[in-house]
Amino acid sequence: MSKVYIKSAGLIPVGEHWNKSLTDLMVEASLNALKGQDGVKIDRIVVGNMMSGYLNNQEHLGALLASALGMKGIEALKVEAACGSGGMAVHEGYISVKSGDYENVLVVGVEKMKDADTQVLTKALAMAESADFTQVVGASFISLNALLMRMYMNKYNVQEEFLDYFPVIAHKNAVTAAHSQFKKAFTLEDVKRSPYLAEPIRLLSSAPSSDGAAALLLSSKPSDVEILASEVSTNELMISQRENPLKFEATEKAFKKAVEKAEINPSSVDFLEIHDAFPIVAALSLEAMGYSAEGRAGFDAANGKYNLDGDLPILTFGGLKARGHPVGGTGVYQIVEAYMQLTGTAGKNQVQGAKLGVTQNVGGVDTTSVVHILRKVS
């Protein structure tokens, strides 16, 4: 079995790319990742994407990208795991390199969301849960998270504002991130003044819709950053079917497996890129990984633990909330950002002395969780 390294990485700024197509986004991110890699022969392309069929009338993204990059003949495919599609694509790239059958694999995560009407997008995102039993009753994806957040607030007697520290942290970090969608800091008051989209989730506590693509070149050849572990776990598809909906079992299991595989001590992790689609997802993710006690993640955030200069920085470039959330791209963005941290190229967002990073990308409400552990090669 081979070890898996990140040979190079590339991304494009997250935002509203009115003049760029789905293909343009993928090609641009790929070319950025492949800059200076002229002699490298790529053996496989994996594209992570959730909604291109529904939003862009386009499937078959593997062949599409291979063709657009002038690489016809190469093995190429798309993987989908809702909002976890990007992380899952990296996982797919990881296991192909690890198997020894492929030396160099290009992984691209992409979503082109801004061409779609908001309500159509709302429907598309709800496809992460059951068509027959979630979508039929009118539930949107955000409403499922709102149900969890209300349950959480009720169970742990937590005020909404403690959870809303997560978007405040995200926006603060995004101000200095070149590729972030929103370079504007928010106060807790700003968040509280924004309207509810699905009580108790507000406009400013909800990840945006975005266009974006990020790419990684994975290789079995030693390089600056090694992927120590790439683990995936699943939970019940529907939150209503879970015995304890406030337990992110998929993240808990994927993280546990990854920590065992990587043989690390979770307390030695220098930074975390978590899936902060909504504050409740950030909180339950941190609790599932054991970084906060149950019901305490919001308080830890309020106390500065998760700030860029805190004990355990999270969302170092703004996370889903402020860097932006191009759904199928997000999981790849997280790993590109971890790569930047570990190679000391994070600029003003640099976590000083970062050697070990964790990324967590989920599809659905922790229905699929993909956890990666990355280490700076010394």
Query: Is 179 a residue of the active site?
Result: no
Q: Determine, following the binding rule CB under 8 A, whether residue 146 of this chain makes contact with another protein.
A: yes
CB of 356 to another protein, least distance (A): 36
Instruction: Give phi and psi for 95, each to the nearest 5.
Output: -70, -25
Q: In angstroms, how far is CA 193 from the centroid of its own chain?
A: 27
Q: Residue 59: is it exposed, middle or buried by C-beta count within 10 angstroms (0-12/13-18/19+)?
A: middle
In sequence order, the β-bridge partners of residue 375 are 226, 356
Instruction: Give phi and psi for 374, each to the nearest 5.
Output: -125, 145
Q: Determine, following the binding rule CB under 8 A, whether residue 157 of this chain makes contact with another protein.
A: no
Q: Determine, following the binding rule CB under 8 A, whether residue 159 of this chain makes contact with another protein.
A: no
Question: 3-state SS of 51-99?
Answer: CHHHHHCCCCHHHHHHHHCCCCCCEEEEECECECHHHHHHHHHHHHHHC
Question: CA of 139: how far to CAs of 133, 196, 221, in Å?
Answer: 9, 16, 46
Interface characters, 104-133, with another protein (x: CB under 8 A): -------------xxxx-xx--x---xxxx
> Of 244-263, which residues contact another protein (CB under 8 A)?
245
Q: Determine, following the binding rule CB under 8 A, whether residue 148 of this chain makes contact with another protein.
A: yes
Q: Please select the residue that binds another protein; options are 138, 265, 268, 309, rule is CB under 8 A.
A: 138
Closer Cβ to another protein, 216 or 239, answer by number: 239
Q: Which of these segments, 2-10, 192-200, 223-231, 318-326, binds another protein (CB under 8 A)?
A: 192-200
What are the DSSP E strand ranges found in the chain? Answer: 4-11, 44-48, 75-79, 104-112, 196-198, 201-202, 211-219, 225-234, 271-273, 356-363, 368-376
Closer Cβ to another protein, 188 or 238, answer by number: 238
* Catalytic residue chosen out of the listed positions 83, 171, 179, 275: 83
Closer Cβ to another protein, 175 or 238, answer by number: 238
CB atoms within 10 A of CB 350: 17
Q: Determine, following the binding rule CB under 8 A, whether residue 361 of this chain makes contact with another protein.
A: no
CB of 331 to another protein, least distance (A): 24
Q: Please select the residue that binds another protein; options are 140, 205, 330, 359, rule is CB under 8 A.
A: 140
Can you give the binding site for another protein, defined by CB under 8 A? 117-120, 122-123, 126, 130-140, 142-143, 146-148, 150-151, 154, 195-201, 236, 238-241, 245
Catalytic sites, residue numbers? 83, 325
